[in-house]
């Protein structure tokens, strides 16, 4: 009997591993989409402004008009396809770097423009006194990091911070395609102000086409949860058979079931925690809190089913006793 119970506990553990793996697959795919956008979310749109004004005028408008809204802007050069200007009024998504670091919110506040290179960036650079610089149009830009090689990311690109106070703020706005990551309301207001249409980037369209691809993962999560629930119901039935062999009655019977049930559920809680540690160790999990909640909810569900199974058998026994 103990061997069979151990097998069922192992099945529950493996089911929880399966549930967590499906979540990992979803988060991995979301991460790929973000990487394809170079740190932008799927709520990204782009506009093209043909007005003869500088980048700093556009950024000043954003800061004054939307002081409390989170906005991130990437401006891809039309002439230099590998150049991107980056500005944000909040901490941006940290892209993985081979060396150094990616931009932070503070990098957009000063008067100095910083640079992050793709692994094979096509731009003139020079090193002096242990520091690396990009040299463009008789201007030097301090390199603070080099991005890791990822299939989803452009390898020959380079990224420069921009702000109203920085040298890159003097670049002409019409020379760039403006990619904006913010709420739909903010993006539409910006587009209306400049009398242009906000369009959807290719990476967002691709994600929208495949947005229902998580249905497969959801179905597998439900399947693994069903297997775990069935295993727990079998454990309840086996515990009932064990207690019936003791010929316990009344309060003794209920106390035995409660004490033994609590021990089983605590063992399964430890099993759930073990599954979490295994998944964190072996799988990609970008949001551990989601994994914690998913496993915890799964444990609660199978625990409730275990209790309902015991309660059903107990009531059935009581009804049979009354009938007899």
Domain ranges of the chain: 2-32+212-323, 40-200
pLDDT tier at 177 (50, 70, 90 boundaries)? very high
CA angle 58, 31, 209 (to 5 degrees): 85
From the number of C-beta atoms within 10 Å of its C-beta (0-12, 13-18, 19+), residue 277 rates as: exposed
pLDDT of residue 128: 83
Distances (CA, A) of 317 to 178, 239, 257: 71, 14, 14
pLDDT of residue 150: 62
- Round the average pLDDT of the chain to a whole number and report it: 86
CB 167 within 8 A of CB 156: no
Considering only CA atoms, give the Rg of the chain. Answer: 29
pLDDT of residue 35: 46
In angstroms, the CA 318 to CA 87 distance is: 71
Q: What is the mean pLDDT of residues 258-269?
A: 89
pLDDT of residue 153: 59
20-57 per-position pLDDT tens digit: 999 887 776 665 555 454 677 777 899 999 888 999 99
DSSP per-residue letters across 88-134: ESSPPP---EEEE----GGGGTSS--EEEE-TT--S-EEEETTEEEE
Q: What is the mean pLDDT of residues 298-304?
A: 95
% of residues, the chain, pLDDT over 90: 52
Q: What is the mean pLDDT of residues 78-100?
A: 87
pLDDT of residue 206: 60
pLDDT of residue 161: 96
Q: What is the mean pLDDT of residues 59-79?
A: 94
pLDDT of residue 171: 94
pLDDT of residue 57: 95
Classify the phi-psi angles of 287: left when phi > 0, otherwise alpha if psi is within -120 to 50, otherwise beta. beta
């Amino acid at each position: 009997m103990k061997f069979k119970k151990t097998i069922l506990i192992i099945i529950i553990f493996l089911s929880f591993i399966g549930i967590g793996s499906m979540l990992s697959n979803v988060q991995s795919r979301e991460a790929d989409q973000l990487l394809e956008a170079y740190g932008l979310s799927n709520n990204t749109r782009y506009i093209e402004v043909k007005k003869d004004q500088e980048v700093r005028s556009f950024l000043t408008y954003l800061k004054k008009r939307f002081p409390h809204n989170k906005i991130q802007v990437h401006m891809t050069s039309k002439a230099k396809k590998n150049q991107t200007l980056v500005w944000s009024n909040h901490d941006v998504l940290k892209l993985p770097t081979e060396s150094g670091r990616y931009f932070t919110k503070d990098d957009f506040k000063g008067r100095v423009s910083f640079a992050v290179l793709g692994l094979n960036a096509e731009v003139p650079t020079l090193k002096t006194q242990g520091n690396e610089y990009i040299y463009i149009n008789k201007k030097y830009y301090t390199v603070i990091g080099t991005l890791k090689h990822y299939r989803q990311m452009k390898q020959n690109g380079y990224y420069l911070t921009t702000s109203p106070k920085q040298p890159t703020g003097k670049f002409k706005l019409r020379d760039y395609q403006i990619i904006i990551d913010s709420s739909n309301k903010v993006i539409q207001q910006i587009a209306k102000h400049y009398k242009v249409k906000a369009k959807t980037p290719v990476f967002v369209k691709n994600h929208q086409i495949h947005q229902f691809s998580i249905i497969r993962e959801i179905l597998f999560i439900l399947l693994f949860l069903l297997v775990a629930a069935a295993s727990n119901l079998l454990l309840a039935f086996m515990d009932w058979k064990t207690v019936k062999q003791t010929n316990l009655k009344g309060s003794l019977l209920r106390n035995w079931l409660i004490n033994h049930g609590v021990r089983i559920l605590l063992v399964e809680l430890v099993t759930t925690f073990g599954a979490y540690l295994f998944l964190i160790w072996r799988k990609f999990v970008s949001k551990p809190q989601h994994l914690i909640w998913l496993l915890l909810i799964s444990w609660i569900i199978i625990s409730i089913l275990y209790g309902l199974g015991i309660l059903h058998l107990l009531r059935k026994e009581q009804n049979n006793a009354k009938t007899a």
